[in-house]
Amino acid sequence: MNFIYSKVSHEKKFFGNTDPVQLTEKYGTPIYVYNENILRERCRDMKGLISYKNFSVNFSPKANGNLELIKIIRSEGLRVDAMSPGEIYVNLLAGYKPEEILYISNNVSEEEFLYAIHAGVKISVDSVSQLELFGRINPGGMVAFRLNPGVGAGHHEKVVTAGQKTKFGIEVSSIGEVKRVAEEYNLSITGINQHIGSLFMEGDAYLKSTGNILSVAKQFDNLEFIDLGGGFGIPYRKQANQPRLNLKELGDKLSAVIRSFVDEYGKEIEFKIEPGRYIVAESGILLGKVNAVKKNFKTKFIGTDLGFNVLVRPVMYDSHHDIEIYRKSGTPSLKEEPVTIVGNICETGDIIAKERHLPEIFENDILGVLDSGAYGYSMSSNYNNRLRPAEVLIQENGKPRIIRKRDTLDDLVRNFIL
Ligand code: LLP
């Protein structure tokens, strides 16, 4: 096999004992490939972020809910959050104990609360109205609430989850209401959480919001935990040598702030963070096949099986993912040219990479979409009645193992009344 344009995966020995062409011949395309070593390394980065003893990392499986990956993350000592009964269910299946799961609810029904209460997981509510509902069905219970600390961050306005323009959290001016409702239903407020948004490469907003949550936390005497949220970014432009988030600097600052809070609060309560992307993004490469190459007027289109049913981020948020090229034949690419890489979905917006300067791409080449381990498979769909891809893990010993089968046509019709 020829690695035509593959510096990033090559340097990381991403594909272990195998290579992208072999993998796609064996498992088909499109396919998500994950590297266990990188996944474990990222778990360890996050566990080492803060030096405070009672610190834990909750993985956010909305970024990637594959059971095998969650098991690996669990084996690294991370805990987990959940955003739905389905995530609670899969987390339990992965071996988590209920008390290790924090259910961060958002506009949920009584039935969902009851599911979480019966499962025995920790629960956080997102509004005073939901606190009332929780109080009515579980008086005397323990509950956390999500604060909107007034400061947001994120790579796109759709993923900024704090501040004035978002549905999330309880604003500081409503804290009195939280106390009133808690008293009315004899609820014990045992945690406060926040999540300011997804993907920051500088720690300033995170630190500022941490200051804000801590000043609210001082008003509650029985806290068991404070959860500062996720959002830690990864460099998506590795081919252009984009620097990494400086975890050491952010971690040192957070450790100092936490230390002084704990000294004042008088209790070594637990501090959590809840990263999703940082843990899984870089451990995933999506492989697809070039089925057609054509020129429409001035644009050269590379037609692949990487439709936005497989990876929606570029279409949904204009996100950038670096592209690699792998080739079975020895044909060299003699020139570089601007190309637009598209999928097989019947929408003009079905573009995975626009106007990229890449070495010449031919039919049957395999393309690798880098850093697609987070919000890749988990946001995939059956749009156009296409099958969701398979997932393969490159294990620590370098050998591949399938960890989710590709959908079948039967899967598409399973819920019809035939
Ligand atoms: N905690 C809560 C409450 C969240 O809502 C999220 C993400 C996380 C933690 C994890 O955030 P992370 O560390 O992964 O940034 N689909 C978008 C990202 C949406 C994030 C949703 N919430 C994307 O593909 O960029």
Q: What is the pLDDT of residues 132-161, one digit of tens each?
A: 999 999 999 999 999 999 999 999 999 999
The rounded distance, in Å, linking the Cα atoms of 204 and 207 is 5
Residue 261 Cβ inside 6 Å of ligand 1? The answer reads: no
C-alpha of residue 312 to centroid of ligand 1, in Å: 15
Assess whether the C-beta atom of 229 lies below 6 angstroms from ligand 1: yes
3-class SS at 253?
helix
pTM of the model: 0.97
Residue with the smallest CA separation from ligand 1 atom 8 is 230
From the CB of residue 397, how many other CB atoms can be counted at a distance below 10 Å?
10
Does ligand 1 have an atom closer than 6 angstroms to the CB of 277? yes
Residues in the chain: 418
DSSP letters along 194-251, please? ---BS-BSSSHHHHHHHHHHHHHHTT-SS--EEE----B---S-GGGTPPPP-HHHHH
Model pLDDT, residue 321: 98
Both tokens assigned to 216: 């609210």
Q: How confident is the model at residue 273 (pLDDT cuts 50, 70, 90)?
A: very high
Instruction: State the chain's mean pLDDT as an integer.
Output: 97
Contact 23, 9 (CB under 8 A): no
CA-CA-CA-CA dihedral for 85, 89, 91, 94, to nearest 10: -170
- pLDDT at position 226: 98
Residue 315 half-sphere exposure, CB side, CA atoms within 13 Å?
Answer: 20
Tokens 């020829």 correspond to: 2
Q: Which CATH architecture has domain 2-34+282-407?
A: Beta Barrel (2.40)
For residue 189, list its beta bridge partners.
143
Residues involved in catalysis = 346
The protein residue whose alpha carbon is closest to atom 22 in ligand 1 is 198
Confidence of residue 1 (pLDDT cuts 50, 70, 90): confident
Cβ burial 265-296 (10 Å sphere, 16+ → b, else e): beeebbbbbbbbbbbbbbbbbbbbbbeebeee
- Our answer on whether the CB atom of 275 is closer than 6 Å to any ligand 1 atom is yes
Residues 210, 151: Cα–Cα separation, whole Å: 10
> Measured between alpha carbons, how far is 278 from 202 in angstroms, rounded to an integer?
14
Mean pLDDT of 176-203: 97
Q: What average pLDDT does this structure show over 113-125?
A: 98
The span from the CA of 73 to the CA of 393, in Å, is 13
pLDDT per position as a tens digit, 217-236: 999 999 999 999 999 999 99
Atom of ligand 1 nearest to the CA of 278: 13
Which atom of ligand 1 lies closest to the CA of 374?
Answer: 24
Residues 19, 24: Cα–Cα separation, whole Å: 9
Task: Provide mean pLDDT across the span 361-365.
Answer: 98
pLDDT tens-digit readout, 84-110: 999 999 999 999 999 999 999 999 999
pLDDT of residue 29: 98
Taking CA atoms, 284 is separated from 278, 311, 368, 374, in Å, by 11, 12, 10, 7
Above 90 in pLDDT, residue 6? yes
**What confidence tens digit (pLDDT) does each residue in 8-39 have?**
999 999 999 999 999 999 999 999 999 999 99
Task: For 302-358, write each residue's pLDDT tens digit.
Answer: 999 999 999 999 999 999 999 999 999 989 999 999 999 999 999 999 999 999 999
Domain ranges of the chain: 2-34+282-407, 36-279
Ligand 1 center to 177 CA (angstroms):
28
Domain formed by 36-279, architecture: Alpha-Beta Barrel (3.20)
